[in-house]
Each structure stands twice: as C-alpha cells, then as structure tokens.
Structure 1
Amino acid sequence: MALRLSFLTLSIGTALLTLPFAQAQEAAFEIIEVHGAHQGSYTSVTPEAQAPVSDISGLLTQLPGTAVNGNGPLTGIAQYRGLFGDRVNTQVNGVSLAGAGPNAMDTPLSYASLINSERIEMHRGIAPVSAGTNTVGGSIKVIESQASFNDTQGRIAAQYQGNGGQSHLGAKVNVGGKNHALLVYGDLMHGDEDMKSGDDLRLSPTGYDKQIIGGQYRLNLSDKGLDDESIAIGYQHLETTEAGTPALPMDIDFIRTDRVKLEGEHRLDTWDLNWHLAFSDARHGMDNFSERQKPESANARYNNAESQSYDMALTLGRDAWLFGLDSQLSEHNSLITDPTKPMFRVDNFNKVQDDTYSAFAQWQQDIDQWHWQLGARVKHYRTDADEVSHSMAGAMPAIKVLMDRYNQADRTQAQTGLDLVINGRYRVNEELTWILGLARKQDSASYQQRYLWIPMQSTGGLADGRTYVGKMDLDLETAYQLELGADFNRQGLSISPRVFLHRIDDYIQGVKSTDPAVIMAANMMGSQDPMEFANVDAQLLGMDINASYEITDQWQLDLLASYVSGERRDIDDNLYRIAPPKVNLGLNFREGNWSARIEGVMVAAQDKVSESQSEQASAGYGLVNLVLAYDRQNWLVKAGVNNLFDIDYEDHLGGYNRVFNADLTPGQRMPGTGMNAWLTGEYRF
C-alpha cells in the first residue's frame, strides 16, 4: 500500500503543528559552539541518539534540509537543500580525501567509523569560508573521537537489524596519561541477506561485508601540563567486500583504503595554530557478474580503480580573525576489462590530476545587537589527464574518433574562483534572534564531468541509468545565495525556521548530446540518447524548520520539516534528484533510566522531476517508527521498529533498479525498506 500525500497537506500540517510541537533531546537542533575566539552556528546529531544505521549517512535524515541519495546500503551521498555530491563539502575527521570509485561507491561518509564517530555536524545555512574549499552545497563534517590525555575509558557496541540480517560490532579504547595518549578502534559490519520492501520484494543485491580498524597517538607538547598544544598521528584501514549497489550498473567486489593523518595544535604567543597533512591510498574493484546475474546478451565487465590523494590545511587565529591555507591533491585511474576476453581494455580515466589550492580570511565581531561574520576565499583549480586507449578503437570508427579527439586536446585546465560570505545574527532580545546570510560562491567541475571521454555511467553516483561524456573546458559554477531565518525560544518552546534562495550560473548537469560520434558510440554499446555535461543556469529555493516543545519534564514533542524546489533557468525543466517535501513529527518520553519515542515520517509526492534526464515521479507515503531504551551508568539497551506498518513505498532518492532476473524489473524505481525490527546495546568502561 502506498500512502499519497500532497504538499498542501504537509504544509497545512506543518502550520498547525509548528507552535505546539518541538524537538526532543535525542533529535538534532541548532547549537552555538565556540572554538577559541571563533563562533559558529551548527546543527548536529549523534549515532547513539538514533536508530542503528549501516552507513553513517543515514543520520543525515535527522538534520534540517538534509537528505541522502542512496545507491546501496553503504553508498549514501549527502544532499543539502537540493545540492549533492562534490558540491557538498564533506569531511571525515577534519579532512577531505578522494575516494577511488568513479561512481562514488566509496562516498566520503562511507569512511566514517560507526564506533568512533561522535556526531555529524552541519553548518546550517550558508557555510562560512572557513568550513572548506567547495561549500556551494553547504558543509557536513563527521566529528570523530580523538586520543585524549589523563583519560582511560572504552566502549563496546553491537547492533542487529532484522531486515537484511544486518549486524555491527564495534569497540574503542582510549588510554591517556599526562603526556601520551593512545586511541584504538574497530568496526565489523555485515549484511547477510538482501533487504526486503514492504511488499516483501527482495532488494537485490544489498548484502555487504565491511571492516574498519584505526587508531591515533597524541603527544602533549605543553610545558604547563595542559592539552592545548599537541601533535598526533592517526591511521585507518577500511576493507569492503561483496557489497551490492542495485541502483548502479556494477557492484562492489572490494574497496581497500589506507589513510594516514598527521596533525598538530600549537599556541604561538596570542595566536592559535592548527595544521594537518593527510594521505589516502584507495583501491577499488567492481563488476557486473559477482553479486548479480548478468543478462546473456551483456558482456562481463570488471573495473579496477584507484586513487591517491593528499589533504593539507593550516589555520591561524586570534581574537576576531582567522586565516587559513589548504590544498587537496588527487590522482585517479580506472581501467575496464572483460574477464572472458583478455584483449579487451578501456581506459575509463588515466592519471587524472585534480588539484585545488586555496587561502581564506575570516573576521567576526559583535557590534551592538549584531554578530557579524565576514569571509573571503580564493581558490585555484588545476586539472590534467594522460592519453587514453580503447582496444576496440580499430574496429569501431566512432570510438576511435572520440579517443583521438581526447588525446589530441589540451587536457590541462586552470581556473581561479572566489567565495565571499556575510552571515549576520541580530539579537532582538533573549528570546528572538534574526538570521541573515549572503554569499557568492564558486565551484569547479568534478573530474568525471571533465574527463569522461566515452559514453559511460561513471558519473559520481548520478544513478539515472544514462551514459555521459564530459567536457574539459566547463566553466566554474557561480552561486548567489540568500538566507533569512529566526531562532525563537520561550518557556520550553524553540522554533528555528529558514528560507533560502540559490541562483546558480553555469550549473553543471547533463544535457542531451548532439555529437554524432558520441551518439554512434553509445548506440554501438547498446545505449540510447547519451548525455554530455554542460553549463546551464539553475535556481533552488525552499525552507526548512525544526522546533521543540517541552510539555512536561517527561514528555516532549519535536518537528523537522523541509521543502526545496530546483529548476533550470535556461529551459522549462526541473533539476534532477531533488528531495521531496518531508515532515518528521516525534513524541518522546523520559523517566529515570527509561526513554521512548514514537515518530511519524510524512513524505510528499515528487512530481517536479527532470525531463531532460527522464526522471520518474514518485508517490508520497507515511511511516511510523518506534524506539524504547534503558540507559544505566555503564550500559545501554535499545530496541525499536522502523516502518512499523510495513508500508511499501518508493524512495525518490534511491535511484532505479539495474539488476536483471530479480524481484524488481529493470528501470523500476527502488522501493524503500519494509518493516525493520532492531536491537542495540553498548557497554562503557
């Protein structure tokens, strides 16, 4: 059964429920954090406060304005106010390191350890320039535990989800004295079965096997016995095997990644200096035959991809000022073969260099009732790639034309961008604060959008089933952003609404290709109507709101609602894969060691879809989730049920089924998961 809800229904419901309803302690709400002399406005959510997830991207649904493009159980792509992928600055443990997968199977958030992650933190609204290099789509950061001095403690956590037989076991231990501290952690994650929809259809393949181990050593440099000056080195190894991605043309055979981070914090007279240098070596194999049944008419394909990347940053702050330098350098390779035909070889990407260098300055100050934050960031992008080859170029003239054109082109590109941000907070009184944000931001094309030379689906996880080619000389996207909002708090009632408008010139998306060689090559490979990346004009507008109300000391209510509309400005069309309007309502109870929550999730139909990308509309639906928890000083047990009534629904951001001979037909929109009973426990020492 699919429950259809119009946006008008959601709007009326939101209007009626905003005043009395509120967000409970376990849900995300805006907080103000102070780091030294610099203040920032964030929303955050902790893993312990929510139902269990197989990938930490699942927590994003509890933050205002966020959503997840899900191509598989471990491949959640962050979306914020309609923008997703590389447009959203996503950092894990303070760094932005490139994944190996050209189709974003190893997304940035997939590298976060479940046991070692303390929270996901988001700059709500227009992200300041200090948040990261490319923040057109906002900034999301996974805050992980750090080795800490004068502290010895540990935690063991386990969870099990019935739908898909998903399990997780994690442990971490910190041992810290006055001058030395060591943190070690590990995660074991398994999905033993395919998940099922509300109609009991197998979502195949959705099994997985994933392990993460890591640690950090920290040395205290302070001669005063404090922990404000230190140097640390951390290491993480991730290995994923046999993981399904049914919305993509291939599944994960393996992902093996080693990451190292060296960092330090120092006090230089009255200046605070922070720096880090991080390195990642990622290897990734994927194919179309190990986890799914390949059609007899299709050829076997195996893609070996790898990347090496560096992330470097240095910030210097004092009083109202913060200055920074940072750089991200990466190289990408991807080679496609056919295990049944040893002579078949295609350079998907060959030594693609994608480098960024930037510097920023940020100032913030209280002036009367205003708190102002102003910033500027200059960014320089450099990209390049080596020549490519295709074993079938001699037999297929169209492929040879595309290969020669690519190899003979000047593949080196250099561009310079500028971000300017003004954020203001006007404090009317102790109860009410007005919010104002203005920005001009720029972003560069992804390496896939520039250097995908032959029609393929290596598009950074678009999952629309279309083949694309890139364009080397794409212009920088230029976004003009406006945000207005308020924070209101009175007698247990808190309301925090925001409205926003983004006008983006030279927005990069796929348009129908008119190149005869591209069309011919695509047709020879069995693909119709290939796309090519191009600069267009776009606009996004919308709102999001969160609220909380304490009925009594034991009972609380919460509300989280969002709406975004994305349109092309150059033609009459909508942007692709925009999250539908959504409202979360929760009733919470807490008494002594016991707590409970009942939550209603209402999602409207999404009929504002991209005709250019043949996007399908989706119906609205409503879900009910339950949680019961018992928390003592050293241990916690939680149990719950998601989708209590086993509703069958379409996940608009879940892509389309690409698997043959399965319960779902090829091209069918992926359903959401059906009823899922779960149990978690943890022991703290």
Structure 2
Amino acid sequence: MAFNTRGRAMLLASLSFAPLHPVLAQDTPERNITEQDRPGQDRPRRTPDDPILIDRIVVSAVRPDRAAPISEDEMAMPEQIALPADATAIAARVPGGAFFGNGTLSGQLSYRGLAGERVLGRINGQRFATGGPNAMDPPFHYAPSVLVERIDVARGIAPVAQGPSLAGAVNVQLFETDFADGPDLSADLRFTSQYRSVDDSYAVGGMAGVSNDRWRFGVLASREEGEDYEFPGGTAAGTSFERNLYGAHAGFRTGAGELFLEYRRSETDPTGNPPFFLDIVFFDTDFLQGGFRGEIADDVELTLRLGHVAVRHLMDNQTTRDPAAPPDRARATFADADTSTAELAVRIGKANSYLQVGADAELTDKSVTITNPFNDGFFVESQPDVQAERIGAFAQWRGAAGQVEFELGARVDSTDQSAGEPQLGAAVPMGPRGLAAAFAAADRETRQTTVDAILRSWLPLGDITPRLTLARKERVASLLERFGWLPTEASFGLADGNIYVGNPDLAPETAWIAEIGFDLDAGAFSLRPTAFYRRVDDFIQGVPFDETIGVIDSPVEMIAAMSGDPTPLQFGNVDAELFGIDMDFAVRTVDRIEVSGTAGFVRGKRRDADDNLYRIPPANLRLSGAYRGDGFSFGAEVFAAAGQDEVSAFNEEEPSESFAVVGLFARYDLARGLAIEAGVENLFDEFYAPHLAGRNRFGASDVPLFERLPGPGRGVWARLTGRF
C-alpha cells in the first residue's frame, strides 16, 4: 500500500524533582559550583521537590533548586545527544515519551500513546493556543533547546491545579535570573553554542542578568539555523530551519513573595515541513505574563498570573517547497491566534500537607484565511473568528492517612465555543460558497462542562515507595475539530494525508485512568516502573463522512474529491483504550561507571471497532553507559525501537521496521562553569525510519514521495556551555 491508495492524500501542490537516574539529566560542569557560589538559590516555592509526582529533565548547566544529587558521588552525567532544535525531542526522553517527527521545528510530544492537545504543554508556566491549524507551532516550537533550563513532566496525569488535560502536563522552563543572597548586585551569565554536522546547523543562545536580594533583571536571546539534513542515501529536502528568540524578565521581592514580569519575542523564518501541504514562511509570536507568587501570611501562599500570547503566522507552498505548486494550486494561508489567561490560587498549609483552591480562565481567539498569492480574488476564511472561553475552578488536597500520603483533587470547567461567518473572495467556486452559507446558517455556538478528579497515593517504605493513581479526565474538542467547515488537510498535525471536516456535535473526551507502580532506590540500583490503563469514551478521531464511502454524493465529498481525496473524514466520537508499561532504571555497582535507561510499551485500540489507534509508538529501549571522571566524562548510548505492526487499518497506516541507533558522547571541563562537549550520532550510519515520522511530500528530495522521513545519518557535534 502506498500513502494514498484509498485516495485520501491530497495531490501534491507545579512540582518538580531531580530524577533518580542521570539518563534524564543532561547538565554541564556546574556541579563544581557550591551553593554558596550560586546566587539566588532560595526560590523553593516555584519548584517544590516531590519525586513521586514529577519527572525532570535538566538540559542546561543550571540546577537552581536541586536538594540532592542524582547519583551518590555527586558527579554530573555528560550530555548524551546533540541538542535538537525542537525541545519536544528532549521531552520525549522521559519514560512513556515519544516524538512525532512533523518537521524540524514542529514535532509533537506523544505521552503514553496520547498526543496533540491531549498533552498540556506550557512554557514558563504559561499555557496558550498554537497558531497553525496543522500544529506547525506546537507549544515547544517556542522553546529553543539552547535556552532551556529544565523540562518538568507530570508523571502520568496532570494535577488539577495545572488546568484541564487528558494526559500528562509538560512545562519547559527557560533561562531566568535568580535573586541574590545580599544587597550587592551579582551578575549571572549563561550561554550555550553548538554545531551539528548532519544538517550543517548552528545554535547559540544565552542570558545575561543582574540581581540582588530584592531585584532581579535579565535578558535572553538565541539564534538557530540549519540546512537540510543528511541520511544514509541522500538528503532530506525541505528540512532547513531558521529561528530567533529574544526577551527580558524582571522580579521584585516583597517580603516572602515576588512580583514578576516577562516578555519574549519568537521569530521563525522560512522553515520546511515535508509532511504537510504547506511550509512555514514565518511565525511572529509575542509572550507576555506577570503576577505575584509567594506567602501573604504564615503558611498561606498566593499565586496570581496574568498572560497574553499573540501568534501571527504565514505558510505557503511557494517559498521553500520544491517544486513549488503551479499558480492554480498555489496557496498562502494566514493564521492568527490570541490567548489571554488569568490564574488565581491560594494554598494553605505546609509543603507536604496543604489545601489549595483556585480559579483560572483562558480566552482564545483564532482565525485562518486561505489565499492564492497569484489571484487576489481567491480567499477563504476556513476558521472565521473562532473563539473559546474557558472558566475553571479547582480544589487540591495534599495530606496523609497514617503512612499513606496522597494528593486528591477535583476541578470543573465551563467552555463556550463559537465561530463567525466565513468571508470568501469572488474567485472562490460555488462548492465552498454553498458550504460557507450552510455553516453561516447553522448554530455556531456551544457550551460544555467538564469535570476532572484525581487521586494519587504513595506509601514511603524506605528504599521502595509503592504508588497508585486513579483519575477521571476530560477534554473538550478543539476549535478546529468542531468548526472546521471547509474540507482541508488541517488535522492538528496528524499528517496522514487525509482531508478532514469539523463536527459541531462533538462530545467531550472522557478518560478513566488507573496507574500502579513503585519507586525503588537502593543506592547502587534504582528502578521506577509504572503500569497504566486508560479507557477513553468519546475519543475524537476521523471517521467516514457518511455511510456511502467512496460515493461522491455530498458537497463535502465533491470539494474533497477536487483536491484529490474522494473519501474525506469528519471528526467524530469513538471509544478507545490505551494500556502499557514504562520505566526508568540505573545501575551504579562500579565506582564512576553507571548504566541507566528507559523502556516503554503502549498499545492503543478502538473499543467500538476491530482496529488500532493511529500513530501509536512501538516498544522502545534507551540504554546509556558512562564513565564519569574528575573533569572528564565519556560514554555511549543506544536507542532501539521494535517494529510496529499493530497499526490502524482505517487510517491505512503502514507497519514499521525495528532499528537501533548508537551514539558516542564526551565532555571536558575547561574551567569551573565552562565545558566543551562533543559526540557522534548514528555511529554506524544506520538507515532507519521511526514509526512516528511524518511522510515526505517534497518532490525534489532523496526521500521518495509519501515515504516516512528517515532519521539523520552519521554526524559529529560539538557544544560549548557555561555559566559565570
């Protein structure tokens, strides 16, 4: 089967902790700097430690709130990989994580088989709506890896205090200047620079800040650029990228609290997206947030956060697409997304025994207009002024019953969604005009209420801690899934070549979740396995538009057929289940030598049909071995994935083959706070195509059309990092 045998393809035109094992920690020689040398390490209220609830990946040299080392000899683990431009690939290294390869800057995180809007993604604690209707800018598109300090992943499910989310929650923390310990000003300088040969890319980023015990101020910036990457067999065309980011942040300490403010500007320039019909021309995005966090009385903490994110986006099939689409099929799509957020929470009690109550609101306004750059009379508002207004409230109780500790929480959210009337140009044919008129005459507003409830419990028994999680989580359909009236390939990044249309009658997804596992830390050996089951009622995915599949007897099917897909899909509710097991582990039986890794397996099935869910990652294993000396470290890492043959027949998903890729890495400490790192990726120049990789749609590429994009070939990388 090819990519489009059924004709669906378009024609070409917070809590956090340092993990138990260093495979999740990628830091530089900051380990030699004492707590007295580091200014401003007294902000525990931003990141209280709780290893039961959160996985942490430390990316930079900075570990501002680590209370204990990740290994007994307090040596830092060297970096195992070249920092990818897409921070999602780093987050995917947690147990249960996987990576949708939709483009160099457009990857999506899959967590225990769920992806897209089902996984809550935030940057510096701020949630927002992406701008691209095909998720060319998922949340971590705006987090250059060279500026990432750490990535916190809620283990299994997101706490109700973080907002609605069907699966886990991930927060990326960028560099930020801390308060100093005294009244004298202290400087804080951090930087990362990297070169990678496989795509001839460079990245440089850093932060400069000053602070004392009452004020802090910092600026940060990064620049990244890369060419098409090489693989065994040629060049993957359309994978070049270019991105800039700059911003500033400030804080003022008032007693035990802090007033804070931050602003960032992200500018993505022409960047290829081979799995999609269009490529990025630009993303110009502004982030602004501020508020207060800290104690307002003894054992009473207040968090107030206000934020706004504005995304401005253009994508087309002319700027980087090779060959460019002919004039009659040329498209340039403009998309805007504005998100305003407000959060208020009060916590009463101690760090491990408290009651927290709060409320939050999220207002989203999006629009998408499709144009033809060669015809001023052709424009279609495929998402006309679509809006979502969500207001929620929650209560979360952390306590103990005897020796058993627990976190119990519940939240309720009310979401209003609406759409405007689409405007069309004079050159738009009658088919879309008829659909637009029908959409304008229909009810374009809906309100739904969702309820989440979670219970996470654990029993500390010395070296071993059994744990159990039970939860009910819900997700309201996205604006695209509900109001996408025009049949297009927009699917929020599924990149399956199908044409989709929205469904205003979608019910919320409801997941019933059970997880059981334990944390074992016996010094020389650590192990953290988790078995999980998710039963999802009203799971949203594409279903046949009508019962007469392949018979073109409706305006939607007629328009889809004109674009090359006579069997369009409509977003609909089905029933699904996901189950599996994942773990991380470390062995430290020999002085200075450690073997560590992660492993995972997940299975996704439909319960209402004899089929599997689409784009479920195969079983995988990541294994790293390292020697850590005084000022010099080196090691090797292997990542292996099994073949995936439990694929979705409905989505015509093809099986994938197993593979294993080996890399080498080393680090040398040039001075305190300064290190050079280097490595070799894909040491044996293995050809492999990850199961979750997108399919190529660039004609002028060495990757055949509609085949999975292969992984990078053998290459070397070098990186210089430091903090002063």
| TM-score category, normalised to shorter length | over 0.9
Select which of 206, 216, 236 maps to 2:264. Answer: 236
For the residues of structure 1 that align with 2:658 and 2:110, how far apart are their CA atoms?
19
Q: In the alignment, what sits opposite 1:276?
A: 305
User: How far apart, in 2, do the equivalents of 1:362 and 1:295 lie?
Assistant: 53
Identity %: 32
In the TM superposition, residue 394 of structure 1 has moved relative to its aligned partner by 7.0
Which residue among 139, 148, 156 is the counterpart of 1:125? 156
Amino acid at match of 1:492: A
Matched, 1:662 2:701: yes
Alignment match, 1:46 = 58
1:366 aligns with: 400
Match among 620, 626, 630 for residue 588 of structure 1 = 626
Task: Note if 1:220 corresponds to 2:250.
Answer: no
Structure 2 vs 1, CA of residues 34 and 184 (structure 1 numbering), >3 Å: closer, same or farther? Answer: closer
Q: Does 1:263 align with 2:294?
A: no
Could you tell me which of 85, 91, 100 is aligned with 1:60? 91
1:172 is aligned to 2:207: yes
Name the counterpart of 1:379: 413
Where 1:247 maps in the other structure, the secondary structure is: coil
Contact 1:388 1:403 in 2 (8 A): yes
User: Where does residue 476 of structure 2 map in the other structure?
Assistant: 444
Range 260-269 or range 492-501, more displaced: 260-269
Verify: 1:105 aligned to 2:136, yes or no.
yes
Partner SS, residue 62 of structure 1: coil
Q: Which of the residues 329, 346, 356 maps onto 2:363?
A: 329
Aligned match for 2:579, one of 541, 548, 561: 541
- Report the Cα distance in structure 2 between the residues aligned to 1:111 and 1:36, rounded to whole angstroms: 22
SS in 1 for 2:594: strand
Alignment partner, residue 308 of structure 1: 338
> Residue type of the partner of 1:180?
W
Counterpart contact for 1:551–1:557, Cα < 8 Å = no
Moved more, 566-575 or 121-130: 121-130
Q: Aligned partners of 2:374, 2:701: CA distance in 1, in Å?
A: 24
On the 8 A contact 2:106/2:141 being kept in 1, the answer is yes
Q: Shift of the alpha carbon at 1:609?
A: 1.2
Report what 1:650 is aligned to.
Answer: 689
Mapped to 1, the partners of 2:631 and 2:240 lie a distance apart of 35
Query: Is 2:275 the partner of 1:247?
Result: yes
Aligned to 1:402: 435
Q: How far has the Cα of 1:186 moved from its partner? A: 0.3
CA contact (8 A) 2:513 2:532 kept: yes
Q: How many angstroms does 1:297 deviate by?
A: 8.5
What's the Cα RMSD here?
1.9
Q: Aligned to 1:338, which of 366, 372, 376?
A: 372
Match of 1:399, SS? Answer: helix
Task: Give the whole-Å Cα distance in 2 for the aligned partners of 1:254 and 1:186.
Answer: 18
Instruction: Provide the residue aligned with 2:525 in structure 1.
Output: 493
Amino acid at match of 1:618: S
Partner of 1:181: 216
Amino acid at match of 2:466: W
- 2:540–2:573: 8 Å Cα contact kept in structure 1? yes
Counterpart of 2:347 in structure 1 is: 317
CA shift, 1:145, in A, is 3.4
Mapped partners of 2:564, 2:307: distance in 1: 42
Letter in 2 for 1:653: L
Letter in 2 for 1:105: M
Partners of 1:353 and 1:279 in 2: CA distance: 15
2:269 partner SS: strand
Deviations 1:55-98 (A, max 9, x none): 21121232100111121111111110000011101111001112
Query: Which position in structure 2 is the counterpart of 1:505?
Result: 537
* Count of matched residue positions in the alignment of Structure 1 and Structure 2: 651
Task: Return closer, same or farther for 1:518/1:259 CA change in 2, 3 Å cut-off.
Answer: same
The answer on 1:414 being equivalent to 2:442 is no
Q: CA deviation at 1:673?
A: 1.3
Q: Counterpart in 2 of 1:138?
A: 168
* Distance of 1:26 and 1:186 partners within structure 2: 28
Q: Is the 8 A contact 2:314 2:334 kept in 1?
A: yes
Structure 1 segment 548-567 matched on structure 2, within 5 A: 548-567=586-605
Q: Report the secondary structure of 2:459's partner residue.
A: strand
Contact preservation (8 Å) 1:23, 1:557 = no
Contact 2:378-2:427 at 8 Å conserved across structures: no
Question: Equivalents in 1 of 2:675, 2:622: separation in Å?
Answer: 25
Task: Name 1:16's counterpart in structure 2.
Answer: none
Kindly state the Cα deviation for residue 259 of structure 1 after the two structures are TM-superposed.
Answer: 1.1
Q: 1: distance between equivalents of 2:525 and 2:556?
A: 58
CA displacement, residues 514-568 of structure 1 (integer Å, 9 cap, x when unaligned): 2722111111222231111000000000000111110222101112100000011
User: 1:394–1:645: structure 2 CA closer, same or farther, 3 Å change rule?
Assistant: closer
Aligned partners of 1:36, 1:524: CA distance in 2, in Å? 53
Give the gaps of 5 or more residues in structure 1.
1-21, 223-227
Kept in 2: contact 1:115–1:172 (CA 8 A):
no
Query: Contact (CA 8 Å) 2:85, 2:224: kept in 1 or not?
Result: yes
Determine helix, strand or coil for the equivalent of 2:557.
Answer: helix
Cα pair 2:92 2:110 within 8 Å, conserved: no
Between 1:413-422 and 1:623-632, the stretch displaced more is 623-632
Partner of 2:24: 27
Instruction: Give the conservation status (yes or no) of the 8 Å contact 1:73–1:206.
Output: yes
Kindly tell me: are residues 436 and 123 of structure 1, through their superposed partners in 2, closer, same or farther at Cα, counting changes over 3 Å? same
Amino acid at match of 1:217: A
Q: Work out whether residues 23 and 560 of structure 1, in 8 Å CA contact, stay in contact via their aligned partners in 2.
A: no
Residues in 1 aligned to 2:259 and 2:269: alpha-carbon distance in whole angstroms: 34
Alignment of 1:462 onto 2:474: no
Question: Partner amino acid for 2:615?
Answer: R
**CA positional deviation for 1:616:** 1.6
Unaligned regions of 5+ residues in structure 2, if any?
A: 1-18, 27-43, 61-78, 181-185, 547-552
Q: Shift in Å at residue 400 of structure 1?
A: 3.2
Shift of the 266–430 alpha-carbon distance from structure 1 to 2, 3 Å rule, reads closer
The 3-state SS of whatever aligns with 1:242 is coil
C-alpha deviation, 1:630, in angstroms: 0.9
Query: What is the deviation of 1:648?
Result: 0.6
Q: Deviations over 1:398-435 (max 9, x none)?
A: 433322221111110100000010111022x2111111
113-122 vs 281-290, which deviates more?
Answer: 113-122
Moved more, 319-328 or 83-92: 319-328
On the 8 A contact 1:75/1:106 being kept in 2, the answer is: yes
Tell me the TM-score normalised to structure 2 length: 0.87
Q: Is the 8 A contact 1:253 1:287 kept in 2?
A: yes
Change (3 A) 1:590 1:99: same
Aligned residue for 2:307, secondary structure, equals strand
Distance 2:133 2:92 in 1: 25
SS in 2 for 1:243: coil
Which residue of structure 1 lines up, in the alignment, with residue 145 of structure 2? 114
Distance 2:152 2:576 in 1: 27
Q: Is the aligned partner of 1:74 residue 2:105?
A: yes
Letter in 1 for 2:416: R
Distance in 1, Cα, partners of 2:455 & 2:610: 32
